[in-house]
Structure formats: C-alpha cells, structure tokens
Structure 1
C-alpha cells in the first residue's frame, strides 16, 4: 500500500471501525478459500442479492461486483482499506458561481473568488431592491458577462454565464429589507413579540370586557327575529366568563347603560365581584369605564410596593389588536363548539350563513328569548366544566381551577345591593419564525436570532441531559448565539413592554446594517439599460414588391410621398398665399360675369 493511499484511510474516524468490521464479516467466508476457487465463487453466489443490515442500521442489498471489489481491496490494502476513502479535495471550494463558468474561464482561484464576491454583492442589491428571481438571474448573468469581459474572457456562450437558481436564493434574506421598505405591514407581522403568562394571576385580577353578536336567529314576540348581543366579562386568570344577553325590539346597539347594568350585576355576584383591572375597547359604549378607576381599587387584596398601586385600573386596548383581547378566543370557541347546538345558528359569516336547505335560512329559535338565555347559560356552564389544554389551565377546567383558588381562601369583593451547549449534542434544523425557534414545544430566543433574517438555523440539542441554554448556528456552522427559553411576562408587567421595545430596536439596527451591506440598485433602471443593450433583429431584404393596378387604367398606384413637415410659421404663410390666390380668382370671376351681362 502506497503512502498516497494510506493518507486517505479514515484511521481516526469513529465510524470507520464499524464499517470495516461489517464488510469483513460478510466476505470472511469467501476469504477462507483460495482466489479463483469454486468454493469462493460458491460463497459469493450465496450472498448475491441478499439484504444485510449495515453499521448505520440501513438495509443494504449485496451484489457480486461489490463483494469481489471488497475482497480485492482487502487483499491489496488489508482490513483498513475496507472503509470508504476520504476525498482528496475535501474541504476545498470546487465551484465558483457555477460549474460551467468555473471550468470555462482561465482565471486562478483568487480571481474567481473576487468575481464571485462582486457578483454576490450585485445580486444582494437586486434582491434588496425588489428584483424577482428570473429578473435577478438574467441581470446577474449580464453582469457576470461584463465582469468576465473586463478580466479578459470574451469567448463564453450564454450558458457559461447562466446564474444557478441556488446562487440567487442564497441571498433571499435581503428581501426582508425590500419588504420592510415597501410593505411595512408584512414586515411588522414578523416583529418579535413578548410572551405573557396568566399563571400567577388571581381570580378577577384582570377582567376583559367586550360585546359580541350571538350568531343565532331568535324569534321575537311579534313574529320577527334578530340576533342577540352578548356582553361578556372574561376573567383571564380562570377563563370563566360572566355574561348577559340582550335582544332589541328594533334595530339598535349596546349602550353604556346596558354594560353598566351587566357590570354591576357581576360586581354583586359572589363568584365574581369587583375586578382589580378592567381591560376594555375604545368604543363609546365603554365611556363609563373611566369613572370606575377608584371603585376598582376596592378589588385589590394586596397593594404591592412596586408602583402598581398608582397605575390606572382601566386599560384601553390598541385599535384593531384583537390578539391582545383574550375574550375574542372565548367568543370564537363558544360560537363554533357550543352555540351551534341551538336552533337558529348561522355561524360567523353573515353574508353566507349556514343553511340547512339551499336558499333557506334556518328556522329561528322559537321558544322565546328567556328560554334561549336559559339554554345558552347551560352551554356556558358545560364549557366551564370542560378540561382545557392551554398554557393557562394545563388540562384543568375553568371551574376546577376556580375551585382550587376558593379552597386556598380566595373571596370576592362585592358591591352593596419559566449547560451543556456543544458536548453530546445533535444538530437539528429549526425554522425561524418571528426571530425565534421552537424546541420541545417551547419558544427559544437570543439577540443573535433577532439579527438573523434567514429561514432556518441549526439548534445543537443535548442528547443525554436537560438544558437551559442552546447553541444556535447557521447552516454553515457560524455561531448565531446562545438561545434561552423565551421568558413569560405577566399581563400587567411593564417589563414586558420594555423587552418588546428592546427587541424591536435590536432587529431594526440589524436590518439597517444588512441594508447598508449591499449596494442600492435601481432594478427598473437596470432592466431598461439591459433592454437598450440588446441588438435589434435585422430583417432580410423583401422577397418581392406587389403593384396594384386600377380597373380600366394602365397607371400604377404609387405610394403617397410623405408631406414636407413645415414649421408653424411656414404653414401660416402658405395658408395666407392660398387665401390671396383664391380671392383674386373669385374677383376675376365676378368681373367676367358682369361684363357678360
């Protein structure tokens, strides 16, 4: 065995001994017989076509050619030669831009690397400027042709300068800059958000109030029907809801007085009482809420010395921010899973309601409004007894969670009348969503991920032990950061808002830096310039000329001669001359007529 062959043996590879042992075990029976003997041939024939479980746990089908090749390698190089060899060019960059271009140009590797870098910057600028994939590939191919020409290579065909799709897609993350510039809504949808927890809240500590349509047709006494309104007060600590239904005799909306009445009834209920904080919309029907700030202080059991005692007890939601109102999820769940079992249910789409028969709405609930309320409250009671698997209840029902608080002494205040980073880890690909990753159903974040705009990362997850931190790298092994489990903030914890602002700041700075790292390129101007550089297609000489003769005449029709284009002054002068000539002719005619008479 030569030194060159020996240098390629995987002597230090952990898996090589298993590969050698597995192959040797298979061919050992054949090796026991002399080369070229009938016995050796018989052993190989017996193995031909059989499947064996290899050292990686994969079923592998054996063939005669493979077995003879292993035997020949063993006899020439010994048992160490049975493991697959290491490539001679392992670790070296073999292709710049594209294989066809790399093989065609006469440049050294340093020049190729320089051209690739310059072209990559150009592609980044195109992607950052909004260039689509096809446009970017065509413009980049033209740019590569120009750069190659500047370095002295001018003989390549169009296929030599074609840009692989993967070359452009590798810079896809620069599209985040373009999206942030022209579609701020789409960019802001990917802004990292803080996670909040309700685990440490007490019953009635935070209550969300809202009004919603009940999508059930309920008959009135006069034979007409309407959809009732539901006023709900959602205790986010236990997921219980205090609610009241309203049906109007005519068209109308929920008023301040309706919500006040429901609020007072809740404050007098021994299982609810006065909330500490009330979260409401900005609608006019909640105008009364600002007057309740002092009254809500009565619901506080302990006033902590952290500034919260001076905080406004009325919290107004941001417009069009339904994700922040816990009660919206409750409305959806009740309508889809519970209220659908009441006669007259039409679902949420008022323009295309549910119909038991084509062209006909369901029959309204006909037992009266009071009977409807009784059925609806019974369904709400059933909801409160159902176990829920969310982060807040963790398999408990709202009623059982409330019972545990009561057993721990909670009483209502009523009104009168949640490191080993590299050792023994396994790399797992994770999709980056909103600058965070998910591992074992939990969100993990770090500042490095806030500055990362790619699609996937590699999370190095310990295989044999628990962990509080994770090493996160990109697909090329470069470290992104050390991720930790995303911290939950209580609903009213002001540190949540501060962390949210800090994350946005880190992301925006990284986005600005990313934008400055690529040139600003006007994609429209590049496309126009590209179009202008293209040579026109020159048509061949006409094959024949067709002449047209008028009937009864030997004269040929000729093409009209293009009229001379005069200036405005010349046109006016010509018109004046024609008018004078016409006037002279007209006067002469008149004189001739007079002399005849």
Structure 2
C-alpha cells in the first residue's frame, strides 16, 4: 500500500526506503522537471521547517489532477531534542528495524504485521518499536529522534576523581573547588605513573600505585576519607596511557622508533637502480651441510626501490662463521654483473661491519649519482622502518620461505615441528637444489600484484618491464676493476725476489729488484694478492713453493728465477747512461779553493826557546852505533842485570 497526500522529504524517504538526503535531492530534481527513477511526481514548495528561507519541498504521490495546487498546507514538525554523542550506529540500527513498517500508513494492518515481524526478528518489544516510529514521524524523520537525548549537563565535568571518591568528598562537607583541584592533581599523578617504570607492569600496577599515593596526598592535606573512596576506574587509568611513550623513549628506543611519526615517499618517481637497499636476512629454514651437520642458510638481499624487485644471494655459512665482507662483496658483484640489475646510483646500507668495504666505492658512485644525492647512506641503528627491505623480508617469509620444506618459523625457541618433542625436519635436498627452488618461488613472487601504496595494482616484474620499455638500461662495470676496487692497497719492498704479505712469501717473474711495489690484498680467503708491476699493470702473484733438497725441479725453478733476475738487471742497464766518474772527479778537484800558505808562527831552529823542545825531534837524528860500540853496549847491559840479581838474592 502506497501512502497518499502531500508528503515532506522525511515521509517521502520512509516511503521510498531511501535516506533523507537522497529524498531531498530527488524532490529538488523533480521540482525542476527532471524525472526520478523514471517517475515525475508533482512537487511544490511550502512554508515549514527543513528547507532554506523557511520553505520545504512537498510531493504528491497520487493522481496529479487530484492534487490541490492552490492550497498551501503549512507543514511543521516538533524539533527533535539534541542527541548525545556517538549515536550514529544506534540511529542506523533503529532506522533499519522500523524502515519496513514505515512504508505503510499509520494504523494499517500491514504496519502492525511488519512491527510484529521486526519484534520477533530483532528481539525488541512492539511497544518500543511503535515509540521509535512515532518519534521519527513526529519529528519529520529527524535522525536525532531515534537517539538518546543529550543530558542537560552535557559538556560539563560531572566526575572529578571517581564516583566513589566524589561522593565521599561531598559527604565530608568539602567544597567542589577543592575537589576540582584534587581531580587535576590525580590526572597529573596518573600521567606521571604512566611515564615511570610502573607502566611496564600494565594498567593494574598504575591503579595500585595511584590508590596508595592518593591516600598519602589526602593525609598531607588533612582530609579523612574512607578507604573505599580511593578507587579509580580502569577507564580513568587507561585514557592517560599515551604518556607511557616517555618511559619507552627513555628506556626502549627500538620500540619508540617503531612509534615514530614518518612521512610517505613516492618511489615510483625513481628509475631502476636509482636507490638500492641492502641487508642480510637469516632464513628460518634448516638444512644439512655436506658433512651432515645442521645449518640455517642466510640471504643477502638487495631491493630496488623503483620497482620493488629483490636480488638475492644465498650463503651456507661454515660452522661457527658469520656473514663477512667476502660474502657481501661477492653478492654485490653478482648483482652488478646481472644484465637486469647493474651498478646502483645510491646504496642504502646497514651499519654492520661487513658493509664497511663499500666506502671504497664512494668516489666511483659519486660520478654516476644524481645531483645533490649522497652515493652511500647509512641506515639508522636499530630502526627497521628506515630500511624498506625489512618489510619485504617479512613478505618473503610468508609468500616464499614458509612454503618450502624445512621451514621452522621465526621463533627459534618455539620451532614449527612435524612431531612434538623432536627437532624440525630438515630441507631434504642439497644447497644447490634449495637455491634453485628459492629462485623459482621468488620469480613467482615478482609477478604478484602489490596491494597498497604508490605501486598498488602493479607487480615488481611489470613495473621493471615498463621502465625497460621506456628506455632504461643498466650501468655496467668491468668485473676485474670492480673486484680490484674492494682490495686493500699496501706498499711492500721486494727482497730476494719475493714480497711478504700476511707472513707468506709471494713471487712474480717480473718483480722489480729491491723496490717498493703496490700490493692489493684480496678480500676473498685463499685468493692470491695482486701486484702493480711497473710498465705492466696489475698481475696476480704466485705462492712461494718449498722444494725437496734432491728434487731437480728446484734447481730448474732457481735457474728460472735467476735468469729473470739477470733479465731485470739488463733491462735496468738499458734504461741508464754510463757515467764518466773520472771526469766528474777532475771537475770537482779543479773547482777546489786555492790559497798561499802564511808564514810560520815559530821557527824552532832559530828561536831562543829551542832548547825547551829538546827530545821532540826538532834537531838532527841521533848517530848510528858501530858494531864494536853495539857489542860493548850489550855486555854492559848484561852486567848491570847480573848485579841487580845478586843484590836481590842477598
């Protein structure tokens, strides 16, 4: 049964089962001669509440010829009382319950039957439904008619501390001004408790401490209240819980960083390899080494922020070993050599020591970096949100690695096991089979559609293909030069045809004789160092071998080394000019200063003091003795010796 007569927008909305706003728009359109849902009812304006300038639309659903176009029936409704806050859900539900009954006229059997059906379906008394319907019609289907009435003291503070405390306060004859001051003190007390270490135990500990401190404060103020008055509700405590950030920021910086306000960046404005984020991901998959021991492989990942692609490099660590610079550098070189990746313009790295080797690429990356962009950026310590690859690792855990055999979950203390009380089953294949399966699954993940953010609606593979179609090409590098860039440069002196690096002797046939040469120490274990040979460039050296004393090969090797030395000497001779040392000496002698010798200070042979210098070989040399005189002298000497001997015996 369709209602008849002139209806307002609210009644028209109830009849057509539409919202009041939609009804108003429909009446406005039909007033301008535009049909609504294929119908064009008679619409007029009348004075009354609900429209602009005191006028409202009315519609006649019956025969247009029977409508009284001249009579203006003033329509007015009693304004509905203001509703309390947070009533939207209640109003919507009540309107839904009575909407079917509102389609039928008041007092009709159809309305009564619909109200009875709604009562059984929604468990509401028919009298309650009639009250809702009557209030809605009385107030022109104003939404506030179906809500709770706003209290007369709405907006005013009715509880200062808590209901039990306020009642006990007023019963003690204390004024409300002091109660309001006490309420403000309690609020600040709760804030302080949330900012203290007590917040770590939860709201219950905050409540306990607050009750005790309230009693102490009342004792200081000389206020006697019963113990039951000191009670704060959970809601009163929890509504100030946002103050816990003070204690978290001071003592749990990692958690505080997770709560930090952040901006949003649109990485779709980047080109591939403009910004690459790298990090290490220990996998939650257990497998076996070739010797049968247990190992958890590790993935070194690189994320291209312009496409959300992930470059992966899997490592099976040795027992007791961690990720080293050798692993990270090897993964980086593999990425640069890949035809779909290449050299990054900007590298966003973690703060681990294994990433420090990339400082040697700063100058190289600065040449290809965008203007004003740092080539290498260090991530903030213990800030997972600052590295976008962290969220991709979590997605890979769910979409890739959790689908593989051997997955034990992220909590190593509570591993996912196939049998209670036993360790998780290991990955059944070899490391090579694991890598092949992981590559296949990651390739499949690259084709999955991203569901949020600037990349919503596309996949990493599709995004990369679009950039390639637009003309993007990778930046390549010479693999030998890139590998050499990570070597540590040092100077060594050649001694006896070898140089010592790390306590080991290394040789090369073209090593210069007793000169300092530049050495590049490798980052890979077991690799030979490189030497920068004058005029030849970089070359790898050979390890010095030990030969058996009787092995003929040792003599041959020694001959080769010595021949190389002779060749080196001859080469040095060709690169020199033979000097004329005698001519140089004559040149120096002829240039020596010449001067006349001055007169002597004393002439000893003519001076009066000559006798003082007797015995100093100033005079002529003594006369030599004859043979007879020499014989007499010897006999006299023997005689004196015998006399001395006899004197000593006596």
User: TM-score scaled to structure 2, two decimals?
Assistant: 0.46
Larger RCO (CA within 8 A; separation ≥ 6): 1
Task: Give the number of the structure whose alpha-carbon radius of gyration is greater.
Answer: 2
